[in-house]
Each structure stands twice: as structure tokens, then as C-alpha cells.
């Protein structure tokens, strides 16, 4: 909803690329959106299948999910959304959407350690503590954690 509101508020419209640099932005943006969408869908599937829950606060996973992309980074769902927001800014060639991607990252950089992670520590105990010692919050590991 936020990207749509930004388009309306700042009169950002989807327009055809005018030159090779704009084509490059659009192609890169589409690739980022596809990668972000794949990452987001994968994490939703893992939440349901492995965690037996959803991303909704009233139905969180009952099992700690440490599979798939969660072996590389603790917040792949947020990473997926960040890829999508960055991709949108490139497709639209919109600085206001790029700023929104940065704001989204900042909000999560504050919310996750202050609110979400203490709740996960409380819910999953030592297993989550070990996970946080081995898997970074936002920047992925080069090799999967086992």
C-alpha cells in the first residue's frame, strides 16, 4: 500500500525506459522483485510447514524455523520485502520509492532487535540464542549454518 500511496502522492507513474541506462534499471528492478518475491513466498511456506504458524502476530510459528534461507540470514522475509521495494524504485526510477526502501530498512533495524528478537528469545530460549550467535540479522552468511 505504501508504494501505491507514494505513486499517487508524488505523481510517480510507470513509464517506458528512454535509454539503455533506464532499461538496465528496469531489468535489474524486475530481477530484484522476482528474487524478493521468491524469498518472501519461501519464508511463508517454511513458516506454515516447519513452524506451524504464519507471519500474523496472532498465529506465530510454534517451532523455530531454521531451514532454507533462514540458514543464511535471520530475517529473510524482511530481506525479501527490501528486495521488492528496491526493485520497485528501480522499475519506476523513483527516488521517493528508494527513500521508502531505506525507511523500511531503518524501521526494521529498530523494531527487530527491540521488539521481535526479545519475544523470540522468550519463546524459543537457548535454541534461538545459539541461532543468533551463528546467523546474522540482515547480511547473509556466505555458507549455510548447520
Cell 504458524 sits at which residue?
A: 53
CA 63 – CA 124 distance, rounded (Å): 8
Ranges of the chain with pLDDT below 50: none
Contact 62, 52 (CB under 8 A): yes
Task: For residue 58, give the H/E element and its range.
Answer: none
Please write the tens of the pLDDT for every residue from 64-92: 999 999 999 999 999 999 999 999 999 99
Residues 6+ apart with CB under 8 A from 34: 87
pTM of the model: 0.90
pLDDT at 82: 96
Residue 68 per-residue DSSP state: G
pLDDT at 83: 96
Amino acid at each position: 500500500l505504501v508504494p501505491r500511496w507514494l505513486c499517487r502522492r508524488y505523481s510517480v507513474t510507470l513509464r517506458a525506459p528512454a535509454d539503455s541506462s533506464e532499461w538496465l534499471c528496469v531489468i535489474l528492478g524486475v530481477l530484484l522483485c522476482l528474487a524478493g518475491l521468491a524469498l518472501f513466498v519461501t519464508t511463508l511456506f517454511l513458516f506454515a510447514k516447519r513452524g506451524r504458524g504464519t507471519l500474523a502476530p496472532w498465529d506465530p510459528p510454534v517451532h523455530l524455523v531454521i531451514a532454507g534461507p533462514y540458514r543464511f540470514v535471520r530475517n529473510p522475509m524482511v530481506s525479501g520485502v527490501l528486495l521488492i521495494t528496491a526493485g520497485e524504485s528501480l522499475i519506476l526510477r523513483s527516488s521517493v520509492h528508494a527513500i521508502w526502501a531505506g525507511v523500511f530498512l531503518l524501521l526494521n533495524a529498530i523494531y527487530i532487535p527491540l521488539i521481535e528478537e526479545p519475544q523470540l528469545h522468550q519463546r524459543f530460549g537457548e535454541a534461538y540464542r545459539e541461532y543468533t550467535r551463528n546467523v546474522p540479522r540482515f547480511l547473509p552468511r556466505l555458507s549455510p549454518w548447520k
